[in-house]
Structure 1
Amino acid sequence: MKDYKRNLMSEKVGKSAVKLSPVPRRASLAETVYEKILALIISPKTPPGSRLSVDALGRDLKVSQTPIRQALVRLQAQGLVVKAQNVGYSTAPLPSAKVYKDIFQFRLLVEPEVARMAAENMSKKDVSKLEVLMARMEDPVQKELNLRYGQFAVDDGKFHMWIAEKAGNSITTHALEQLHTHTHLFRLRNHHTVTEEAIVEHRAIFNAVIKRKALLARDAMFNHIEASFKRMVPYFGE
């Protein structure tokens, strides 16, 4: 009888121990604040070396300092923000021309194959998710052109990461995520032709992926990265 009660008690403890509490709303707020600051960093409103005031960002976004600091720490870990003692946070210098060229070489080696794998794994449920990202990038509404460019860069990164995740290879997904390739590239040049041409290329990738045309998706991704390199290479090292 004692053993029975002991087992019953352990079961109750076990059940309560594994019960997870709901994710707090702060999680979505933190992500929103992060994306807002990221878009600001990418935009020409904040060139390399621009100071990022925690107080000013909090006032602009109408949030407390906590999510602002969380976002800045995250951006610092990604190499997009630097922190100096007695100075605070500022936007990081641009990578060297060598780093940019290495990024493109890596992407040409990896992302076309990732797109092929994603097309093979595509399901009907996935189409609507990718369609949302495409719609956001193709949205003609531009309340503030500079910030719109930054938001496009954020969505561009999400588009590529979604395809990487759909490919199902955790190693390549992690590698692409850690490089933050798209963020660094969009900081290099701000011009409407960058977004206009990228949208056309993304649409070609999208159409191939949702139709599960694996080889076409691979070629469309290769063409996109190659075209992006040609658009950006004149600005390396400026």
Structure 2
Amino acid sequence: MEGKLRADEVVFRHVIAKLVAKELRPGDRIYETALSKELGVSRTPIRQAISRLIAQGVLENREGQKGYAIPILTPEDMQQVYVSREVVEAQCAYYAASNATPEDIALLWDYNMQERRLYDSDEKERFANLNEKFHLSIVRLSENIYLQRFALQLYWRAQLYTFYLGGFYRTYRNLAEKKAFPQDPDHHTNSEHARIIRAIENKDSEEAKLSMADHIQRTYRHFCRLM
């Protein structure tokens, strides 16, 4: 991440990095005291970050239990998350096509180029960060604060499924083994993102909406097979 992060953002990113690396798995618990020792920060930013993670569905605070749990992933929850995400992000893309400036488009293409370079690497955290920037940039370009609010929550909840089911985030013994999964939608992420950017660049709102919906549907269908 560029620049110096606020303490609560450091905590947030630390938890996300542990999810990406599978150091935290569904059902695992985290504790304020342990995070404070790991990161050398006070309890205040830890509580701020945890409140944010709970609000976005990444953590759960279960009554009568200490600490905070990574949610258990289920087919029913995944279906609700991805159906909702498709509706909200597709509408964000629709509005982004009208609102995006040439500078916005250039930034989206830059993310797309970086994704293409990173796909054959093992830099999972950087790849996750680029995917976040791409999707949340389009959400921001909707200029609709309610869509933004819902999209943020749905994006991070969906990432739990991406981190645990997505092919890019699997651990492979070598590059050849990774390339043995050509049907994984992660393999098509870059071209699907490019289709979305092209529609936004052309100010084609309907195509932007359709291409975003197709992108999210494809991921969901693949995860259904794995679940």
Aligning the two structures, in what range does the TM-score lie when normalised by the shorter sequence? 0.7 to 0.9
Aligned to 1:130: 108
- In 1, distance between residues paired with 2:116 and 2:30? 29
Q: TM-score, normalised by structure 1?
A: 0.70
Q: Check the 8 A contact 2:55/2:153 in 1, yes or no.
A: no
In the alignment, does 2:60 pair up with 1:74? no
**1:97: Cα distance to partner?**
1.6
Q: Check the 8 A contact 1:39/1:151 in 2, yes or no.
A: no
Query: Is the alpha carbon distance of 1:52 and 1:177 closer, same or farther for their aligned partners in structure 2, counting shifts above 3 Å?
Result: same
Query: Is the alpha carbon distance of 1:29 and 1:204 closer, same or farther for their aligned partners in structure 2, counting shifts above 3 Å?
Result: farther
Q: Structure 1 unaligned segments of length 5 or more: list them.
A: 1-24
In the alignment, does 2:75 pair up with 1:97? yes
Secondary structure at the aligned position of 2:118 is classed as coil
More displaced stretch, 123-132 vs 161-170: 123-132
Q: Structure 2 unaligned segments of length 5 or more: list them.
A: 169-183
Aligned to 2:189: 198
In the alignment, does 2:18 pair up with 1:40? yes
- In 1, distance between residues paired with 2:118 and 2:140? 27
| Sequence identity (%) | 25
Letter of the 1:224 partner, please give it. H
Q: Check the 8 A contact 1:157/1:183 in 2, yes or no.
A: no
Secondary structure at the aligned position of 1:81 is classed as coil
Q: Check the 8 A contact 1:137/1:155 in 2, yes or no.
A: yes
**1:70: Cα distance to partner?**
2.7
Q: TM-score, normalised by structure 2?
A: 0.72
Secondary structure at the aligned position of 1:82 is classed as coil
- In 1, distance between residues paired with 2:135 and 2:148? 10
Residue of 108, 124, 131 corresponding to 2:86 = 108
Q: Which has the larger radius of gyration?
A: 1
Deviations 1:21-58 (A, max 9, x none): xxxx9863422331231232244231112232545545
Number of corresponding residues: 208
In the alignment, does 2:137 pair up with 1:162? yes
